[in-house]
Amino acid sequence: MRIIAGKYRSRRLHGPKGLSLRPTSDRLRESLFDVLAEFVDGSRFFDAFAGTGAVGIEALSRGAKEVIFLENHAPAVNLIKKNLALLEANRGVRVLTVDALRGLRTLTKENLPAHEQLEILFLDPPYDHAADYDRVLSFLGSATLLSENSLVIAEHRRNFELPEVVKNLQRVRVLRQGDAALSFYRLRKSSASEWVSQ
């Protein structure tokens, strides 16, 4: 695994040796950040079911002002910390050793000011854990964590269809690549931006 662009461009990360992890491929990660483009710079980026941390670290490399990693599998948490240490990335990062839903609830209780609310939330549960998609998207669709400008992205199997609407979340785009897909969601009360719907 390598960082594709930004401050840490071309730096290699430690991979999941012997761990039951499925890292987001370099190619899919590149496609994701091609869509996000300049919106990552200055954003707060949330990497749930973070695994190796490669997606969140890519966001950090591209200028995210804060990246929050949520991962409850201890060996994966150690891998995230190892990769951050490898890059000497110790500013603007938080690693929470917690279930994604519990971590989201904790963050909601922090009552972040509107301008500091999480802006980009990436969810990548194990593909065969369908219930995780439902519980996390349902929480995000009903909680106060999101601002109008927030974007939620869920990685999933290409042949696994996520719902178009989850409470207050509206799917605005699906990007398919190989066996994987990315579903993009916005709050229903906010209009979908052109950069998402293109």
CA dist list (Å): 90 to 60, 71, 93: 11, 18, 6
Domain range for 150: 26-197
Tell me: the pLDDT tens digits for 54-90? 999 999 999 999 999 999 999 999 999 999 999 999 8
How many angstroms separate the Cα of 106 from the Cα of each of 61, 88, 100, 102, 144?
26, 27, 10, 6, 12
- What is residue 137's predicted lDDT score, i.e. its pLDDT? 97
* CB contact set of 1 (below 8 Å; sequence gap of 6+): 12, 13, 15, 23, 26, 52, 54
Would residue 8 count as lying in a domain?
no
14 is a domain residue: no
CATH number of the domain that 70 lies in?
A: 3.40.50.150
Q: Is residue 2 included in any domain, yes or no?
A: no
What is the C-alpha to C-alpha distance for residues 197 and 143, in angstroms, rounded to an integer?
24
Nearest to 175 by CA among 191, 189, 193, 154: 154
User: pLDDT of 103-125, one tens digit each?
Assistant: 999 998 887 666 666 689 999 99
What pTM does this model have?
A: 0.91
- Percentage of residues of the chain with pLDDT beyond 70: 89
In a domain? residue 17: no
What are the pLDDT digits (tens) for 82-107?
999 999 998 999 999 999 999 999 99
Whether residue 6 lies inside any domain: the answer is no
Please provide the DSSP assignment of 118-162 as one string. Answer: --EEEE---TT-HHHHHHHHHHHHHSS---TT-EEEEEEETT-PP
CB atoms within 10 A of CB 131: 9
Domain count, the chain: 1
